[in-house]
Amino acid sequence: MSNLTKTTSHQLPKEVSNLSRQVYNANIMTMIREIDDMNIVVNSIHQSINKSIFDKGANLDVDEINILKTTVTEDILSDFNTLTLEDINICFKMGVRGSLGDYFGINAVTYYGWLKKYKTEIIPQVYKEVGNYIKPTLIEEPKVDLKSYDLHKINTIYDAIVLFDKELVYSLNDIGNIHYNFLDSHKCFDKLSENILNTLWEEAKNSLIKDVKSKNYELIKSGKYYHVSDVQKLIQKIEYGEKDTEVMIDIIYKKMILKHFISHFHEYYSDLEKFKDDLTDKTHFKYEK
């Protein structure tokens, strides 16, 4: 556990807010991607999730909690591994207290929205506040084999299409919209009509509302009226295009686009093998330039 030790300690002046002090001290600890023991990482994330569920009084059965833990952990390891375990703890604590936007139920989309706002908004704000008192630490980014990573994405997408063709089963759990982003970078979704995209966007909004209503129903059945979310307020925020809800809807929307693309692949491309070969050639060319 030696690599969990805090890196450097800075004496911040009393003018720095308590929140900024907490976030800064958490963020200078060892990043998740640098921790050798994955058992420590997974157990810590699961404990943070357990605490957030308890704090909100959410009514989830064991299977729901296990699926939630798996999904959120995969999201963190994929998209938020430059955070620290203490960052995760503080992020979820802020989330359940409404400091990262309105609460719309304990689900993977909510957690992803919290993590994204914490990473892209809270941490930069904190470093801006304490920037006059510390010197930024230069961190050498580890080398990642991006070419192999992209080739693996191609194989995963190919296998998902083959499986759907054979068994009408959609199996691709696109954690962090990784596969969506890859296909989008190659303009693969340009073939989808504006009408289809608009329909999927509306379905994504309805999916978020349906999920919140479902969670409210379970809370009401358990007598936890205090924890019920305001659906009308959610709908109003969606109509006004507020940022917090836009983030959650966009995550669902991209997953729906990918699912539509996989399940309707042959409406857009006639030859799966050629599609795979073309993406492979483009990937090789990109990293050989």
- Same domain? For 165 and 271 the reply is yes
Instruction: Evaluate whether residue 138 is within a structural domain.
Output: no
- Same domain? For 111 and 173 the reply is no
- Same domain? For 169 and 194 the reply is yes
pLDDT values of the chain reduced to their tens digit, one per residue, 289 residues: 334 444 444 567 777 888 888 899 888 899 998 888 888 899 999 999 999 998 888 777 777 788 888 889 988 988 899 999 999 999 999 999 888 877 777 888 889 989 999 999 999 988 888 876 665 544 344 455 778 888 989 999 999 999 999 999 998 877 667 899 899 999 999 999 999 999 999 999 999 898 888 878 877 877 766 667 788 888 888 888 877 788 788 888 999 999 999 999 999 999 999 999 999 999 999 888 6
The answer to whether the CB of 111 falls within 8 A of the CB of 65 is no
- Same domain? For 151 and 204 the reply is yes
Distances (CA, A) of 112 to 54, 109, 198, 249: 18, 5, 23, 11
Q: Is the dihedral of CA 61, 67, 72, 73 positive or negative?
A: positive
N- to C-terminal Cα separation, the chain: 41
| pTM of the predicted structure, to 2 decimals | 0.61
- Same domain? For 161 and 284 the reply is yes
Closest to 216 (Cα-Cα) out of 92, 59, 109: 59
Rounded Cα–Cα distance for residues 86 and 237 (Å): 31
Question: Domain containing 163: what range?
Answer: 146-288
Instruction: Evaluate whether residue 135 is within a structural domain.
Output: no
- Same domain? For 152 and 125 the reply is no
- Tally the C-alpha atoms within 13 A of residue 184's C-alpha that lie toward its C-beta: 9
Rounded Cα–Cα distance for residues 258 and 264 (Å): 10
